[in-house]
């Protein structure tokens, strides 16, 4: 897989990294990798941290496009995308609506359910439904074990695998530190997999599936970014029919949300019947040394540098700026 892009035609590029979310540390690692890659391909790229610089400076400093390497709130939730729309600066990844929906795991599930796509059963606990009487009722509905998570965070932040009733309240309290609402989700026993997508609409392409094998099944924040204990299998080792079905589901999920540019779906393949279930869609996936989209792209013959260049070349606005009326 090759990328034919003239770096000079991309203009002056800001790589947005850091930001103010709970995933700031990961974003800085992602952004540093992207910045180095783009510079290696001859792009006029500089780092830009919205936590320390006003976004309006992007316009004042004459940036032609933006590579979003932010993760979490105020990065992949539609807010930065909306600001860039107002500034008229093309950006990488999904637009305002798709970013906002995908960042909300409960809303994502509602869309997928409406489209008939499989996702684990779930219960959403609003801030008025997080007392012991409410939380103890959840395992009766979803069974045990189950997963408790904040619906607007990523990178496994605030996530607990609950094994018994006695753990529910602490798990809800932890998730509620990051979000007003708490998502409780049926636990699917089986293989954990992820599948990246590049492109948009009918032309979107699913990349090779990665199977994730974590120590004792603990694919948490620390294992994702700061250890080498997790094994990432690509080729996945799954039967070809299963891999094709995962890719088909991922593309359907991506298109249902209106995503563009790139994304990555996380899924579980249930051991009992080998049926895949969609967990979430990441619209600004990690680009660190441990990250999965670059790993899958390499398996498809696309280098990290060319991946970054291809994503940047697809930067655009939801709606092109309207012509300024003549005075």
Q: Give the Cα separation of 88 and 66 in Å (integer).
A: 11
155 is catalytic: yes
240 is catalytic: no
3-state secondary structure of 175: helix
**Can you name the residues that pair with 198 across neighbouring β-strands?**
205, 262
Burial class from Cβ neighbours inside 10 Å (0-12, 13-18, 19+) for residue 4 reads exposed
Residue 133 structure tokens: 């009487």
Residue with tokens 């392409």: 205
Q: In what order do the strands lie in the sheet with 160-162?
A: 122-125, 182-186, 146-149, 160-162
- One of 186, 220, 280, 305 is an active-site residue; which one? 280
- One of 219, 225, 254, 304 is an active-site residue; which one? 225
- One of 94, 282, 284, 296 is an active-site residue; which one? 282
225 is catalytic: yes
264 is catalytic: yes
- One of 21, 23, 73, 306 is an active-site residue; which one? 23
232 is catalytic: no
32 is catalytic: no
Closest to 303 in 3D by CA, of 48, 33, 66: 33
- One of 30, 99, 155, 291 is an active-site residue; which one? 155
- One of 30, 264, 304, 306 is an active-site residue; which one? 264
- One of 77, 104, 191, 266 is an active-site residue; which one? 266
Q: Give the Cα separation of 110 and 173 in Å (integer).
A: 24
282 is catalytic: yes
266 is catalytic: yes
Q: Among all residues, which ones are annotated catalytic?
A: 23, 155, 225, 264, 266, 280, 282, 286
């Amino acid at each position: 897989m090759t990328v034919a892009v003239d770096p000079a035609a991309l203009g002056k590029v800001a790589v947005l990294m850091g930001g103010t979310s709970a995933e700031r540390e990961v974003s800085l690692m992602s952004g540093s990798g992207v910045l180095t890659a783009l510079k290696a391909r001859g792009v006029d790229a500089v780092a830009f941290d919205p936590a320390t610089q006003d976004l309006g400076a992007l316009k004042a400093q004459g940036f032609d496009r933006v590579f979003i390497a932010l993760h979490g709130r105020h990065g992949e939730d539609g807010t930065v995308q909306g600001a860039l729309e107002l500034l008229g600066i093309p950006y990488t990844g999904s637009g305002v609506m798709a970013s906002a929906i995908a960042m909300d795991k409960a809303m994502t599930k509602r869309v997928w359910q409406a489209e008939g796509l499989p996702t684990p059963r779930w219960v959403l606990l609003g801030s008025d439904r997080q007392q012991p009487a409410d939380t103890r009722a959840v395992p009766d509905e979803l069974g045990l074990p189950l997963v408790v998570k904040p619906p607007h965070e990523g990178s496994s932040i605030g996530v607990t695998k609950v094994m018994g009733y006695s753990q529910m309240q602490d798990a809800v309290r932890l998730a509620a530190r990051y979000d007003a609402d708490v998502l409780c989700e049926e636990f699917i026993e089986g293989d954990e997999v992820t599948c990246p997508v590049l492109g948009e609409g009918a032309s979107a392409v699913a990349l090779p599936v990665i199977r994730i094998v974590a120590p004792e099944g603990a694919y948490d924040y620390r294992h994702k970014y700061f250890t080498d204990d997790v094994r990432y299998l690509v080729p996945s080792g799954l039967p070809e029919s299963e891999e094709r079905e995962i890719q088909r589901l991922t593309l359907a999920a991506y298109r249902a949300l209106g995503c563009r540019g790139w994304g990555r779906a996380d899924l579980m393949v249930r051991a009992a019947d080998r049926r895949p279930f969609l967990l979430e869609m990441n619209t600004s996936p990690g680009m660190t040394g441990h990250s999965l989209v670059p790993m899958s792209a390499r398996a498809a013959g696309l280098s990290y540098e060319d991946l970054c260049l291809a994503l940047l070349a697809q930067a655009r606005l939801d709606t092109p700026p309207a012509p300024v009326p003549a005075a």
